[in-house]
Amino acid sequence: MASNKKLLVLPGDGIGPEVVGETLRIVDWMAKKRSVSFDIEEGLVGGAAYDAHGTALTDETMTDATHADAVLFGAVGGPKYDDLPFELKPERGLLRLRKEMDLFANLRPAMVFPSMVENSSLKPELVSGLDIMILRELTGGVYFCEPRGIEDLPDGSKRGFDTQAYTTPEIERIGRVAFDLARKRRGKVTSVEKANVMMSGVLWRQVMTALHASEGEGLEYENMFADNCAMQLVRTPKQFDVIVTDNLFGDILSDCAAMLTGSLGMLPSASLGAEDPTTGKRHALYEPVHGSAPDIAGKGMANPIAEMLSFAMLLRYSFDMGEDADLLEKAIDNVLAGGMRTADIMATGKAKVSTATMTDSILKEL
């Protein structure tokens, strides 16, 4: 493999630097053993950037992110920054990255490794072998649309309001990502909205159904109401392959699906931008679902697997290194099957290991 792959690494705060540090050991291994050359740059984000520069993300780092082939992100935030004004908060760094890179497609897989069924809140037979992908629209919808605000009413009370809106192009571009994903998976897409009570949902269903007819050849497709989807997820989750939905429903349904797997320390995510028609490249940021976990930061207890699985997604979706991603996921699966557990995924009869020992075992398995 010839061309250098530009990777921007943003560890952030709390356990962010710990889990990113462990993941960089895997990156090193990949570079050496799989003869691929990564061009790695590291930057500050969140509280770490605030401490050094008084802002959660400098313009320089923002520029580096847009020039990188992919960003590997840790986590931001912590009690130290709780009293900062809204614009200076560590989370603003992440929001700026998402916004300026136009990362509209948020991929959150919910996978249950065979040896991890004991961690789910559902019965083993319902989740064993579970592998679903929640695709959430990330830059539109009710979290961003105007008008929004809190206004005074003549009777002295107040009225808080938001706007939910989606345009045809916004629905089509997330829909295309869903169909692409399904083609590489088990070929099924479930599109989720509330077309029974929301006009944006009516349009969403029309556009998605038409897109399936024109571009979804060979793929199984269904529409589902969001409330039903929530119920189906905890009843028979294995009926799903790719679930595509808007920002708000995706926020809720992805948390719900995530917990089917039983541990925050195991959950990766990817956020993708639009594909450049000439280069075929797209902005992308990969991060664990968990936060900076200040309660365990610095104690060598953090589970590095969510960050490593985020790197596996990076290999698959940004670097076209699907085989290497499979290899890493398989190594993690084997180590878990061998009984290695960080404290967060501990069950009786398993060996409790530190962050670094977990990585040692995964490297050995690789």
Tell me, residue by residue from 229 to 268, as one string, x for binding to ligand NAI by CB under 6 A and - for no binding.
-----------------------------------xx---
Is residue 166 part of the annotated active site? The answer reads no
CA contacts within 13 A on the Cβ side of 348: 0
Window of 5-13, 94-102, 176-184, 244-252 that interacts with Mg ion by CB under 5 A: 244-252
Q: Which of residues 179-238 bind Mg ion (CB under 5 A)?
A: none
Phi, psi angle pair for 136, to nearest 5° = -110, 130
Q: Are 4 and 38 in contact (CB under 8 A)?
A: yes
Q: Is 17 annotated among the ligand-binding residues?
A: no
Between 267 and 331, CB nearer to ligand NAI: 267
Between 144 and 225, CB nearer to ligand NAI: 144
Phi, psi angle pair for 226, to nearest 5° = -60, -40
Q: Is 271 annotated among the ligand-binding residues?
A: no
287 binds Mg ion (CB under 5 A): no
Query: Which partner, ligand NAI, Mg ion, none, binds residue 291 by CB below 5 to 8 Å per kind?
Result: ligand NAI
CB within 8 Å of 366: residues ≥ 6 apart: 26, 29, 33, 327, 328, 331
251 binds Mg ion (CB under 5 A): yes
Q: Is 302 annotated among the ligand-binding residues?
A: yes
280: alpha, beta or left? (left if phi > 0; alpha if psi -120 to 50):
left
Write the burial class of residue 57 (CB in 10 Å: 0-12 exposed, 13-18 middle, 19+ buried).
Answer: buried
Is residue 50 part of the annotated active site? The answer reads no
- What is the signed CA dihedral for 32, 33, 36, 38, rounded to 10 degrees? -40
Report CA Rg, the chain: 21
Window of 39-47, 82-90, 177-185, 249-257 that interacts with Mg ion by CB under 5 A: 249-257
Contacting ligand NAI (CB under 6 A), which of 78, 237, 250, 273? 78
Is residue 255 part of the annotated active site? The answer reads yes
Q: Which of residues 273-332 bind ligand NAI (CB under 6 A)?
A: 287, 290-296, 302-303, 306
Q: How far is the CB of 77 from Mg ion (least distance, A)?
A: 14
93 binds ligand NAI (CB under 6 A): no
